[in-house]
Amino acid sequence: MKKFFPVLHTAALFSGISDDELTAMLSCLGARIDTFPKGSRLLRAGDAVEEVGLVLAGSVLIVQEDIWGNRNILSKAGPGQTFAEVFACAPGAVLNVSVEAESAVTVMFLRIKRVLSVCPSACSHHSRIIRNLLGELAEKNLRLNEKLTHTGQRTTRAKLMSYFSAEAQRRGGYEFDIPFSRQQLADYLGVERSGLSLELGKMRDEGLLDFHKSHFLLKMPEANRPFPSAR
């Protein structure tokens, strides 16, 4: 497992934890590693979850689907990011989302009961990971509220502007890459891909932005720039 330590040290869940502490903790937390091919389902809606997933390589999508197959992408998790922690922390709760491999993915699973209960040695690093987990849950809640703000807008353009504004504020500049393909962005915002692509084209023609694939540059009047442009 030590070959994954560089990734684990980027994870908010293991923030402030040394290599020696990490070695001890992985055994304490019942860590196991599994790999999944692109397109496979790691977890399905209706599953009961007792483990937190942490992506070591590749990426996963957290998706809601209705019985007719309509997709709503809630979020994406890449190396160092976690998933399923909200459901795993709620005893008896079952998933109302599925987790699918966007690419070939390697994931570490941690037993949530061992995360939430202090081990017999009452190690200080175990207390730290509990605090880190609470921080992760708070961050996920903020991101969900942010998504609700985007999808609550009335038009496709308003949804796009809300999303791009949030990304620009997060990156501290007007030029950035987004983590979604066109179809994924449409699923995330709850719009049709054709309508989204049409609106992006109109916004580019009107001089509001420019883009190439997942790279975007927002073109704002100098007087309206609330933060520095990205370098």
For 207-219, the pLDDT digits (tens) are 999 999 999 999 9
Give the mean pLDDT of 56-77: 93
CA distance 75 to 30: 26
pLDDT of residue 230: 44
pLDDT of residue 176: 97
Establish how many alpha carbons lie within 13 A of residue 9's alpha carbon, considering only the half-sphere containing its beta carbon.
Answer: 10
DSSP type of residue 231: -
Amino acid 18 reads S
Average pLDDT over the chain reads 91
Non-local (6+) Cβ contacts of 159 within 8 A are 150, 151, 153, 189, 190, 191
CA distance 77 to 71: 17
Helix (H, G, I), strand (E, B) or coil at 100: strand
Is the domain defined by 152-224 classed in CATH 1.10.10.10? Answer: yes
pLDDT over threshold 50, residue 231: no
DSSP secondary structure, 176-221, as one string: EE-S--HHHHHHHHTS-HHHHHHHHHHHHHTTSEEEETTEEEE---
Q: Are 218 and 174 in contact (CB under 8 A)?
A: yes
pLDDT of residue 223: 44
For 71-81, the pLDDT digits (tens) are 999 999 999 99
Q: Is 1 exposed, middle or buried (0-12, 13-18, 19+ CB in 10 A)?
A: middle
pLDDT band with cut points at 50, 70 and 90 for residue 225: low
Structural tokens at position 204: 């580019």
Residue labelled with tokens 């304490």: 28
pTM: 0.86
Which among 60, 44, 41 has a CA at the least distance from the CA of 103? 60
pLDDT band with cut points at 50, 70 and 90 for residue 229: very low
User: Does residue 117 come out as left (phi exceeding 0), alpha (psi in the -120 to 50 range) or beta?
Assistant: beta
* CATH 2.60.120.10 domain residues, the chain: 2-139
Give the mean pLDDT of 33-57: 96
pLDDT of residue 112: 82
Give the mean pLDDT of 20-38: 91
Non-local (6+) Cβ contacts of 142 within 8 A are none
pLDDT band with cut points at 50, 70 and 90 for residue 227: low
Lowest mean pLDDT among 13-22, 80-89, 110-119: 110-119
150-189-76 Cα angle (round to 5): 100
CATH classification code of 2-139: 2.60.120.10
For 89-141, the pLDDT digits (tens) are 888 889 999 999 999 999 999 998 877 776 666 566 778 888 899 999 999 99
Structural tokens at position 53: 């997933």
For 158-203, the pLDDT digits (tens) are 999 999 999 999 999 999 999 999 999 999 999 999 999 999 999 9
